[in-house]
Amino acid sequence: MIPTKYIFVTGGVASSLGKGIISASLAKLLQARGYMVTIQKLDPYINVDPGTLNPYEHGECYVTEDGAETDLDLGHYERFLGIPTSQANNVTTGRIYQSVINKERRGDYLGKTVQVIPHITDEIKRRVKLLGGRNKYDFVITEIGGTVGDIESLPYVEAVRQLKWELGDQQVLNIHLTLVPYLQSSGELKTKPTQHSVKMLLETGVQPNILVLRTSHELSEELRKKVALFCNVEPDSVIQSIDVSTIYEVPLLMQQQGLDATVLRKMGMEVTGEPELKPWKDFLQKLQHPRFTTRIALVGKYVELPDAYISINESFKHAGAMNDCRVEVTYLHSEQIDESNYKGLLKGFNGILVAPGFGDRGIEGKILAARYARENNIPFLGICLGLQCAVVEFARHVAGLDKAHSTEMALKTPDPVIDLMEAQKGITEKGGTMRLGAYPCVIRKDTKTFEAYGTVEVSERHRHRYEFNNKYLEAFEKLGMIATGTNPETSLVEIMEIPAHKWFVGVQFHPEYSSTVLKPHPLFVAFIKATLTKEK
């Protein structure tokens, strides 16, 4: 086993250039060459984790199997690599400071003054090495959030500098991603911001080894040479990342320019053969040349920011490709759906998905969407709050419990069909206190749920405080909505289904967190399939 190699991906010039996708693409290429790879994200903000952040602030909160609420980039890592990440894969400044302060309170620093250097930087290095030190991975790719030059990124860049110094260039490599803007008026690509950004890195003592330039236009050979010369890197270490229609093309574009081979060579490793990318290319072929199209309404309240539902979106792509089908997703704002317009707004879709969420804003719109799907035999997938809405809707319009609700929205409802979990009562802190992470679920045979999974025991990831109130289960089952998935230890209802409907499934967990390119989630696959079939 080679000692773990560390690759740091930093960003300059602007944020949102796709560091996560570049990291995941490189990881995919190394994995496809047979190496064990993992990816980590270091986020420079003070929140301990993004769990308490509004999705409008930071997009979706992704949840790992071990119950960590993390940055959405971890979703990309899992979707690309097909291996689970964990709490150790996402570390924020808040978490770093929390550990250092806890150590200080315990007296671990033996009376020393606790400072950013060396104590914070040591803790950053420890968190990076924690992933590498288990002889599990050949490569740990660490993406540093934010932009080089930000005050809050400084300790991270300093930690990279120290690690490079300690372990040397063959064990620690820096890839810097920048933007090369295109000036419409003169028809030119400009490299000056890249040069400045590299200078900024150099000021902190880090010489990047490879530059990835995000661009809307092809970079000429001449331009690459110029960047190489002024930024002090080898010409073959200037790689372009051109805008593409799907993120899943990026690994192939990186491979065509030899990113993986360059990394291996620079880290003193032998470059033999090519990465095995056939399954990936097959997926891409299906994604880009589908035979069918299906139209899905995604009903949620964070629809202005598609990043809020990024895992659901990607799950549709994986499941669509599996069904040879393009999934056209239309976002419907649940706050804008009401009694007067819901039939018109929801008409014509092949399937309806009601998204996860919190609080009562837009809740009646979601309940109406579930009603429309149920009454019109339209395939329906309700996720977390989406399941809870379907349950409330069924209670009100099938079971005749007019005032039924979730106690999250109506504390005094006479029929709390969705209620706070026993274990949640008395919890007042918000951070990391929900029912989080993977729990087992047993599937009832001879149901559409079972047909989708093809197995009785599954494990799914959660992020919720409320649950189906089992007092109503018998009545619901008699009326035609049955529990098809339950937690074997607590009997908590995990999945509800209407067997008489074409395909109506609601899940308390989040299937979207575990759908990957090469292993789409079975419920998404079955949902899309149901939207394509005509027969009942």
User: Site residues (CB under 6 A) for ligand GLN?
Assistant: 356-358, 384-385, 408, 463-466
**Among residues 250 and 385, whose Cβ is nearest to ligand GLN?**
385
Is the Cβ–Cβ distance between 505 and 449 less than 8 Å? yes
Amino acid occupying residue 458: V
CB of 248 or CB of 466, closer to ligand GLN: 466
For ligand GLN, give the closer residue by CB, 384 or 523.
384
Choose the catalytic residue: 65, 364, 512, 521.
512
- Tell me how far, at minimum, the Cβ of 467 lies from ligand GLN, in Å: 7
Q: What is the DSSP letter of 3?
A: P
For ligand GLN, which is the closer residue by CB, 248 or 302? 302
Nearest alpha carbon to residue 440 among 468, 462, 471? 462
Question: C-beta of 380: minimal distance to ligand GLN in Å?
Answer: 16
Helix (H) or strand (E) holding 332: strand 325-333
Q: 63 pairs with which residues across the strands?
A: 69
If DSSP codes are grouped into helix, strand and coil, which group holds residue 370? helix
One-letter amino acid of 195: Q
Please identify, using beta-carbon distances, which residue of 147 and 514 lies nearer to ligand GLN: 514
Q: Which amino acid is at 432?
A: G
Tokens of 44: 């420079």
Give the CA radius of gyration of the chain.
25
Residue 280 CA to residue 517 CA, distance in Å, equals: 8
Question: Least Å distance between CB 466 and ligand GLN?
Answer: 3
Q: Of these residues, 318, 405, 510, 521, which one is catalytic?
A: 510
At 116, list the tokens: 């950013």
The residues with which 238 forms a beta bridge, in sequence order, are 211
Q: Which segments of 128-221 are extended strands (E)?
A: 139-144, 172-179, 182-183, 188-189, 210-215
- Rounded to whole angstroms, how far apart are CA atoms 92 and 516? 25
Find the shortest distance in angstroms from Cβ 115 to ligand GLN: 40
Q: How many residues belong to the chain?
A: 536
Q: In the annotation, is 389 catalytic? A: no
Whether the Cβ atoms of residue 292 and residue 323 lie closer than 8 Å to each other: yes
Query: In whole angstroms, how close is the CB of 238 to ligand GLN at the nearest point?
Result: 43
* 178 φ, ψ (degrees, to nearest 5): -130, 175
Q: Closest approach of Cβ 47 to ligand GLN, in Å?
A: 18
Which residue's CB is nearer to ligand GLN, number 17 or number 389? 389
Q: Is 512 known to be catalytic?
A: yes
Q: What is the DSSP letter of 119?
A: I
Closer residue to ligand GLN (CB): 251 or 357: 357
Rounded CA-CA distance 148/156 in Å is 10
Q: Please name the helix (run of DSSP H) or strand (run of DSSP E) that holds residue 69, with its range, or none.
A: strand 69-70
Where are any strands of DSSP class E within 379-434? 380-383, 405-406, 416-420
Annotated catalytic residue, options 384, 408, 460, 467: 384
Indicate the DSSP class of residue 216.
S
When the beta carbons of 119 and 435 are compared against ligand GLN, the nearer one is: 435
* Cβ 427 to ligand GLN shortest distance, Å: 12
* β 351-354/292-300 pair status: parallel
**Minimum gap (Å) between residue 332 Cβ and ligand GLN:** 17
53 vs 200, beta carbon nearer ligand GLN: 53
- For 339, residues 6+ apart whose C-beta sits below 8 A from its C-beta are 368
Helices 385-397 and 363-375, axial angle in degrees (round to 10): 70
Structure tokens, 323: 């069904």
Active site (annotated) includes residue 384:
yes
State in angstroms the smallest separation of the CB of 356 from ligand GLN.
Answer: 3
Residue positions annotated with a catalytic role? 384, 510, 512
